[in-house]
Structure 1
Amino acid sequence: MGLREDAARLRQDIEDEQNAKLRIALFGQPGSGKSSLINQIVGQPVARTGVTTDTTVEAQIIAHEELLLVDLPGYGTSRFPPNAWMDRFRPEELDLFLCVFAGKFHEADTAFFKELREKGRICLFVRNKLDDLWEDGRTTDELKAEIAADVARQVGAPEQVYFVSCRTREGLSELVDGIKAALEPALQEKYARSAKAFSLAHLEAKKDACEKSVYKYAGLAAANGLNPVPGVNVGVDMSIMYKMFAEIRASYGLTDEKVNKLIPSLLPLGKRVLDYGTKEGIMLLLKKFAGKSASTAVGRFVPIVGQAIAAAAGFGMTVAAGKSYLNDCHELAERILERELGIERQP
């Protein structure tokens, strides 16, 4: 293939990937904290809390980056008997289900799970509000074991139950691992790029997923070559580079507001992330890496970007600029998370 054909294919790949969202549905009885859990998963207050979904006629759909999170109305209610529910909300079109409960596991949830299993859908069980789990004279582990046994009894087989608290964030890291493990690899990457990281391992997975996007966007920017880089005999599509940088920042949740609230020791790094995220800053980075050849690591990305793009003038420069910005965003997010987790960085 030539450069034009590689660029057209790569552009279509990027568009298809953006249009194909990862669809995660949450179901359970009112008061189980589904909206709060959605907000924790994405790391932002995107869902309305306190909504009684059994009395509404529509699902609450939250679009965030590459995720579609669906807060489903109650199953088996007077407004939504089982058959009407299945016809209305078409669970076969969703990728993963989270059964969220905070008290006793309801019969309606059991019935819905059995319907999902018959349709071959994957469902994880999440016992929310762990911080409220208490009974005089009994340990938390004993109460957890009793709840897990009750779930197994009702659904007819042992199932892992994820115990989480949106208030204390306890158990959320394990839930993230469980969600990723239940997804196929391409969807795992979407989840890693879009969901909040609760551990340093999650951040590393996010970086790996973002790096693949860097090669795609950088390749397309180099192939388009619309804007000459001052002092460099090569053109780059700046709109594509700008979009790539914006998506990297969004993946790490580095909003202007969050960066501007950093502690003094992190402000220089935060300022660099903000400054290089502008069109002027991108141009400075491109000039910094002018003449940069693609690294040996590009070999494994040739099937993604195409041989013609990999050999194009400017590809090494755009990749180097993108990876430099990715590294800055990753380091800043890592430093922020370390403070949240109380981890002391070694000198």
Structure 2
Amino acid sequence: MNIREDAEKLRQDIEDEQNLKLKIALFGQPGAGKSSLINLIVGQPVTQTGATTDMTTEAKVIEHEELLLVDLPGYGTSKFPPNKWMEQFQPEELDLFLCVFASKFHEADTTFFKQLKEKGRVCIFVRNKQDDLWEEGKTTEQLEAEIIADVHKHVGSAENVHFVSCRTKAGLTELVDAIYAALDPAKREKYARSAKAYSKEHLEAKKAACEKSVYKYAGLAAANGLNPVPGVNIGVDISIMLKQFNDIRKSYGLSDEKVNKLIPSLLPIGKRVLEYSTKEGIMILLKRYAGREASIQIGRYVPFVGQAIAAAAGFGMTLAAGKSYLNDCHQLAEQILEEELGIRQ
């Protein structure tokens, strides 16, 4: 296979991967806080929230990076009786379900869960508003145990129940870990890249998933060789690298606004993340790693980009620049997470 054929295959692989979304649906009764939970999963206010009433009168689909989060209307309501609900929203097309509740478990949710189970769908139970749990003479642990027992009684099986609070962010680390574990390996990578990390373990999974994309983008940028790098007799497609760096920043939630609000101790690395995401910054990185193509171990990267691209002049340089930028973003996100965890302790 020649470099043009390798490049076309690589381009198609990237497009196919990005077009295939991970679909996570949230269902539950009015006021359970599904919209708030969606915002926390992605780390951005992507959907409107309502304080006391259900804002969902029809299925809302929120696209975020490689995720499609579907906020489903209440099952078994007058507007959506069970038979109409299942016919309209086709749960077989969704990858994972979160049953979100914040009060007594509803019979409608029980019925829906059992139908999902019959269809072989995976469902995670989320008891939201954990910070509101209180009853005189009982501890939080006792109240949680009663809720778990009630869920088991309704659904007829010993399902795990995750207690979270969208207000305090309690329990989110455990919930995102449970979502990650419930997915197959390929879809875990999509989730790791797209969801907000609430633990260092999730950040490491995000880095590993992003690194696979770095190989592919670097290979495509090297194969397309449109822009000569000053002082280096090699051409690179800078537009592809710009997209790659932008995707990495989005994965880590490092918007311009967030980076510009960093505390002083994080400003140096934050400045690098912003500067190197420009055409001029990428050129600086490429020149820094211009000698890498001479020593790269070709065979190691063939499974990612193909023989022709792995052997192409410039692949080592673009790969080293991509990995360097990924490391900067990861280091910055890790330090931001440490600051966030410190605030909550």
Aligned 8 A contact 2:101 2:128 in 1: yes
Distance in 1 (CA, whole Å) between partners of 2:299 and 2:270 is 32
Which digits, 9 at most, give the CA deviation of each residue in 1:150-191, with x for residues without a partner? 111111110000100111111100001100000000100000
* 2:286 pairs with 1:286: yes
Residue pairs, 1:118-133, within 5 angstroms: 118-133=118-133
Aligned partner of 1:110: which letter?
T
* 2:209 pairs with 1:209: yes
Aligned partner of 1:206: which letter?
K
**CA-CA distance at 1:317 after TM superposition:** 0.3
Q: Secondary structure at the match of 1:4?
A: helix
Distance in 1 (CA, whole Å) between partners of 2:248 and 2:179 is 22
Residue pairs, 1:2-21, within 5 angstroms: 2-21=2-21
**CA-CA distance at 1:53 after TM superposition:** 4.9
Distance in 2 (CA, whole Å) between partners of 1:125 and 1:332 is 33
**CA-CA distance at 1:110 after TM superposition:** 0.5
Distance in 2 (CA, whole Å) between partners of 1:175 and 1:295 is 43
**CA-CA distance at 1:297 after TM superposition:** 7.5
Distance in 2 (CA, whole Å) between partners of 1:55 and 1:19 is 26
Correspondence for 1:313: 313
Correspondence for 1:60: 60
**Residues 213/297 of structure 1: CA separation in 2 closer, same or farther (3 Å cut):** farther
* 2:333 pairs with 1:333: yes
Correspondence for 1:71: 71
Distance in 1 (CA, whole Å) between partners of 2:294 and 2:159 is 47
Aligned 8 A contact 1:192 1:202 in 2: yes
Aligned partner of 1:119: which letter?
K
Residue pairs, 1:86-125, within 5 angstroms: 86-125=86-125
**Residues 53/6 of structure 1: CA separation in 2 closer, same or farther (3 Å cut):** farther
Distance in 2 (CA, whole Å) between partners of 1:140 and 1:177 is 22
Aligned 8 A contact 1:102 1:128 in 2: yes
Distance in 1 (CA, whole Å) between partners of 2:115 and 2:190 is 27
Aligned 8 A contact 1:53 1:72 in 2: no
Aligned 8 A contact 1:54 1:79 in 2: no
**CA-CA distance at 1:299 after TM superposition:** 4.6
Q: Secondary structure at the match of 1:248?
A: helix
Deviates more, 1:300-309 or 1:75-84: 300-309
Correspondence for 1:246: 246
**CA-CA distance at 1:116 after TM superposition:** 0.6
**Runs of 5+ unmatched residues, structure 1:** none
Correspondence for 1:262: 262
**Runs of 5+ unmatched residues, structure 2:** none
Aligned 8 A contact 2:56 2:72 in 1: no
Aligned partner of 2:155: which letter?
V
Distance in 1 (CA, whole Å) between partners of 2:141 and 2:125 is 17
Aligned partner of 2:263: which letter?
I
Which digits, 9 at most, give the CA deviation of each residue in 1:18-45, with x for residues without a partner? 1001100000001000000001000111
Which digits, 9 at most, give the CA deviation of each residue in 1:191-236, with x for residues without a partner? 0000000011111111111000100100111111111111111111
Normalising by structure 1, report the TM-score: 0.96
Distance in 2 (CA, whole Å) between partners of 1:76 and 1:200 is 40
Correspondence for 1:274: 274
Correspondence for 1:190: 190
Aligned partner of 1:192: which letter?
A
**CA-CA distance at 1:338 after TM superposition:** 0.5
Aligned partner of 2:320: which letter?
A
Which digits, 9 at most, give the CA deviation of each residue in 1:250-303, with x for residues without a partner? 000001111111111111111110000111111111111112138777755421
**CA-CA distance at 1:304 after TM superposition:** 2.0
Aligned 8 A contact 2:56 2:71 in 1: no
Aligned partner of 1:164: which letter?
V
Aligned partner of 1:284: which letter?
I
Runs of 4+ in 1 over 4 A off after TM superposition: 51-55, 294-300
Normalising by structure 2, report the TM-score: 0.96
Aligned 8 A contact 1:53 1:59 in 2: no
Distance in 2 (CA, whole Å) between partners of 1:299 and 1:130 is 52
Query: What is the RMSD computed on CA atoms of the aligned residues?
Result: 1.5
Residue pairs, 1:168-187, within 5 angstroms: 168-187=168-187
Which digits, 9 at most, give the CA deviation of each residue in 1:48-89, with x for residues without a partner? 101855862x21111111111110011111110111111111
* 2:69 pairs with 1:82: no
Task: State percent identity of aligned pairs.
Answer: 77
Aligned 8 A contact 2:31 2:54 in 1: no
Distance in 1 (CA, whole Å) between partners of 2:119 and 2:299 is 41
Distance in 2 (CA, whole Å) between partners of 1:134 and 1:200 is 31
Q: Secondary structure at the match of 1:103?
A: coil
**Residues 92/54 of structure 1: CA separation in 2 closer, same or farther (3 Å cut):** farther
**CA-CA distance at 1:342 after TM superposition:** 1.6
Distance in 2 (CA, whole Å) between partners of 1:281 and 1:336 is 23
Correspondence for 2:32: 32
